[in-house]
Structure 1
Amino acid sequence: MEALEAVAIGAAGVVAGGMNAVVGSGTLVTFPTLLAFGYPPVVANVSNNIGLVPGSMSAAYGYRRELRGQRGRVLRFAVASLVGGLTGSLLLLKLPESTFDAVLPALILIACVLVLLQPRLNRWLSNRKGGPRHKDGGVPVWCGVLGTGVYGGYFGAAQGVLMMGLFGAFLDEDLQRLNAVKNVLGSVVNGVAAVVFIIVADVSWAAAAVVATGATIGGLIGARIGRRLSPTVLRGIIVAVGLTASVAVIVR
């Protein structure tokens, strides 16, 4: 790997790690960067996934204060993310990329709408049920986390947007605390997918290592910035990134 290539991929990793900590969609930075340097799509996707794992872990660590009191919720959803990530990574090795690309823009746009309307949905559901909503969302949210895990293991771009849209619509919780859970679950999905890819797929270890270095730094920086954002600003960033991700996937 030449110096210019390493610097460019490392910088993309920093940006992606920061984006994933705040909202997600960091793959939309690192994946095209790897493609631009001539990596085959599947190799780029696999190497990118492995490289982003340390960044997801550093982001989760950065949000450790917001994770307090959420152990039960994290463990329940982590099971869904584990199964989903495993399933999605296996699908990547079997299905054409066009299978998910066909529905991805619609999923991201729906997630953006859910995030944008979260305050109204909170009030409407609470009034309709006559009390506070279930803190964990029950079976529907667990299945939704499973679905986002499948997608995350397959490709991963905007996985965080989808998850935050799901959480915002069904969970009566502070947005920053939900973002902390999102970072942990992203680590689970990327981690289990990485294990599968290491065992059965072709990996560019040089590219993965450079992405990992950048993403780890970016994850810590992103967590520091993201934790200071107000719910309104954070919601706006999620929607903006989600809309950008939709356009990027459509024109890709």
Structure 2
Amino acid sequence: MSLFEAVAILLAGCAAGTINTVVGSGTLITFPTLLAFGVPPVTANVSNTIGLVPGSLSGAVGYRRELAGQRSRVLRLCSASALGALVGAGLLLKLPPGAFEAIVPVLIVLGCVLVIAGPRISSWIARRHEASGGLPVNGAWWVWPLVAATGVYGGYFGAAQGVLLMAVLGIGIDETLQRLNGAKNVLVAVANGVSGIVFAVVADVDWLVVVIIACGAIAGGQLGAAYGRRLPPTVLRWFIVAVGAIAVAAFLL
């Protein structure tokens, strides 16, 4: 690996760490960068997944104030992310390369639509639960299985995993977007971490790439937390949608 390639991957990792902390889809920066420098697709995917874990943890630390009071909720949902990630990692190792990616654009578009419609859907759900005292603290019953489903996707590829998670959490849990964003960073870190452990044991990992991406992602996680947590809810919502739209375009073009 040349110095130029190392610097480019480091900067890509920093950008990915920043975007992942605020929304998600940082993989759309690092993955194509690795492919451009000749890293085989599967190796690039698994190395990228492991390398971005420290960035997600860095972002979660940056959102620690927003995470206050969410311990039981986050721990419960972490089990869903972990279980889903195990399934997703297994799919990556067993299925043909294009089998799952065919529905990725559809999932991202659905996530964007849900983010836009989130306030209205949340209000409708809240009204439905008023008679029984409102939504449970941990969210509607379907939040756990849908978080597990996003974990499957995250374990397989992961681009725009954050967009999908924010759609699920924003609709199913009565909480502010910024606090849910903090929870999202933890859930993504768990999904990537669990699948990363699987890949480290059974897949071909480029550990130099992992270290370089991790260094950039850690710095990016702090940058994303510093600026992302200041965004007003409406701005954050539309930023999520914009990132999701770019992700769809990247997959289709």
TM-score, normalised with respect to structure 2? 0.96
Deviation readout 1:105-152 (Å, 9 max, x if unpaired): 111111111111122122222233335323323431100000000110
- The unaligned stretches of length 5 or more in structure 2 are none
Q: Tell me which residue corresponds to 2:21.
A: 21
Q: d(CA) in 2 for partners of 1:139 and 1:125?
A: 12
What amino acid is aligned across from residue 179 of structure 2 in structure 1?
Answer: R
- Once the two structures are overlaid, the 10-residue window that deviates more, 135-144 or 69-78, is 135-144
Q: Tell me which residue corresponds to 1:113.
A: 113
Q: Tell me which residue corresponds to 1:9.
A: 9
The percentage of aligned residue pairs carrying the same residue is: 59
Q: Tell me which residue corresponds to 1:124.
A: 124
What amino acid is aligned across from residue 50 of structure 1 in structure 2?
Answer: I
Q: d(CA) in 2 for partners of 1:125 and 1:83?
A: 27
- The unaligned stretches of length 5 or more in structure 1 are none
Q: d(CA) in 1 for partners of 2:80 and 2:72?
A: 13
Asked whether the equivalents of residues 135 and 173 of structure 1 are also in contact (C-alpha less than 8 Å), the reply is no
Deviation readout 1:23-65 (Å, 9 max, x if unpaired): 0000000000000000000000011011101101100100000
CA shift for structure 1 position 241: 0.3
1:187 is aligned, of 186, 189, 206, to 189
Asked whether the equivalents of residues 56 and 184 of structure 1 are also in contact (C-alpha less than 8 Å), the reply is yes
SS class of match (2:142)? helix
TM-score, normalised with respect to structure 1? 0.97
CA shift for structure 1 position 97: 2.5
What amino acid is aligned across from residue 230 of structure 1 in structure 2?
Answer: P
Asked whether the equivalents of residues 163 and 240 of structure 2 are also in contact (C-alpha less than 8 Å), the reply is yes
What amino acid is aligned across from residue 211 of structure 1 in structure 2?
Answer: I
**Structure 1 residue ranges (4+ consecutive) displaced by more than 4 angstroms after TM superposition:** none
CA shift for structure 1 position 172: 1.2
Asked whether the equivalents of residues 140 and 173 of structure 2 are also in contact (C-alpha less than 8 Å), the reply is no
Q: Tell me which residue corresponds to 1:71.
A: 71
Q: d(CA) in 2 for partners of 1:242 and 1:24?
A: 9
SS class of match (2:141)? helix
SS class of match (1:93)? helix
Q: d(CA) in 2 for partners of 1:236 and 1:120?
A: 15
Q: d(CA) in 2 for partners of 1:219 and 1:97?
A: 29
Deviation readout 1:51-85 (Å, 9 max, x if unpaired): 10110110010000000110110011000111111
SS class of match (1:214)? helix
Q: Tell me which residue corresponds to 1:146.
A: 148
Instruction: Give the alignment of 1:172-183 within 5 angstroms.
Output: 172-183=174-185
Q: Tell me which residue corresponds to 2:210.
A: 208
Asked whether the equivalents of residues 140 and 172 of structure 2 are also in contact (C-alpha less than 8 Å), the reply is no
Asked whether the equivalents of residues 59 and 219 of structure 1 are also in contact (C-alpha less than 8 Å), the reply is yes
What amino acid is aligned across from residue 209 of structure 2 in structure 1?
Answer: A
Over the aligned positions, Cα root-mean-square deviation in angstroms equals 1.1
What amino acid is aligned across from residue 96 of structure 2 in structure 1?
Answer: P
CA shift for structure 1 position 221: 0.6
Q: d(CA) in 2 for partners of 1:240 and 1:57?
A: 24
Asked whether the equivalents of residues 116 and 237 of structure 2 are also in contact (C-alpha less than 8 Å), the reply is yes
